[in-house]
Amino acid sequence: MDTIFSDKPLTRYPKMIIPKDYSPRLDVISTARAVHQLKRLVEANLQKELQLSRVSAPLFVQKGTGINDDLNGVDTPVSFGIKAMDIEAEVVQSLAKWKRIALAEYGIPVHEGIYTDMHAIRPSEIPDNLHSVLVDQWDWEKAIRAEDRNLGYLRETVEKLFSVIKAGEAYVHEHYGIAPELPEKISFFHSEELLQKYPDLTPEQRESEITRVYGAVFVMGIGGELTNGRNHDERSPDYDDWSTPNSDGFYGLNGDILVWSSVLNRALELSSMGIRVDRESLVRQLALKDKNERLGLHFHQLLLNDELPLSIGGGIGQSRLGMYLLKKAHVGEISAGLWPEEMIHVCKANGIRLL
């Protein structure tokens, strides 16, 4: 499907895409029912494929502990005071660090893990087809051994997650007649390989080009400096390991799952994940990002004192996955949110109903 910008340009949201002649496959109520069933299916398959148990998750954590995530290193969370406890709290942006603490506190055995139905607020997000201030995702974390900290284990885990996505696609095809588009297997590329392959493109353009060719890819090593002196994308230094040398001759044990959206004619990120930092990579990455002051925070002290298990983990966007599988043009067709008036009017005029 061709994609165009609306005749009435969204001047403040230049990345917004309006597909030409867009018509949703399902109405609002049918979409809600389909999303509900997909969530049940995905959760059941996550439990089965990764040996995960569902747990409750916090909406906010105490400020100043290092437990909340700053995502790309600069995002600022929503904070508020709790009078009865005389502390400052922050609404979570993701649960990468909290989940690792939970693995330890719950005594989760090696090669088992936890997942949760996470909702977060990311006030720095600029709304468009894929982004909302409200974030919903399945956050998961799994305890591993030191010998599992390698590309083989990472790829094996990615393939299991891809099988969960494929099962969702098969369900949608069977029950709603939406034709499957995913390839049989997901392909793996390091971000440095994409730079060498497409040196004249931006990182976002590289992702779209490689995903257009292969249908589904896992782009590795996100957060570390490439040979052009830049990062493919930013990652905070204290959850994913993006600096450890790997067996492919590159750096990093993390990455993103991308699929090709025929509706938006671009790559769509469904999951960010990776093997988490150990003590050595934490110290190294904090130094690389000039964030050594974090070493004294609660989470970092737990890790430095070997009180947290080694782990692999990530998040899978719930609205994004529903958007992709149901062939929607906007996450706002899947989950309710607060949208700019300009975006609401332009979308409505082009068949996109934002909840």
pLDDT digits (tens, 9 = 90+) for 299-347: 999 999 999 999 999 999 999 999 999 999 999 999 998 998 989 999 9
State yes or no: pLDDT of 143 exceeds 60. Answer: yes
Cβ atoms of residues 311 and 318 within 8 Å? no
Beta 216-220 vs 187-190: how paired, if at all? Answer: parallel
- How do the domains of the chain map onto residue ranges? 3-58+95-336+345-349
Residue of 326, 347, 233, 351 lying closest to 33 (CA atoms): 326
- Which residues form the catalytic set? 69, 122, 137, 256, 269, 272
What is the rounded average pLDDT for all residues in the chain?
A: 92
In angstroms, rounded to a whole number, what is the distance separating the alpha carbons of residues 168 and 327? 13
Residue tagged 């570390």 (tokens): 224
How large is the C-alpha radius of gyration of the chain? 20
Place of tokens 């885990």: 157
CATH of 3-58+95-336+345-349, one of 3.40.50.300, 3.50.50.60, 3.30.930.10, 3.30.830.10: 3.30.930.10
Backbone φ and ψ of 52, nearest 5°: -110, 150
Which phi and psi angles does 19 have, rounded to 5°? -65, 140
Pairing of the two strands 254-261 and 216-220: antiparallel
Phi, psi of 214 (to 5 degrees): -105, -15
Tell me the per-residue pLDDT of 264-308, one tens digit each, with 9 for 90 and over: 999 999 999 999 999 999 999 999 999 999 999 999 999 999 999
DSSP state of 222: B
Type of residue numbered 269: E
92-133 confidence digits (pLDDT tens): 877 888 999 999 999 999 999 999 998 888 888 888 999 998
Question: So what's the pLDDT on residue 72?
Answer: 53
Tokens of 237: 């230094």
Q: 0.85 cut: is pTM over it?
A: yes
Query: How much of the chain exceeds pLDDT 70, in percent?
Result: 95
- Residue-level pLDDT at 1: 38
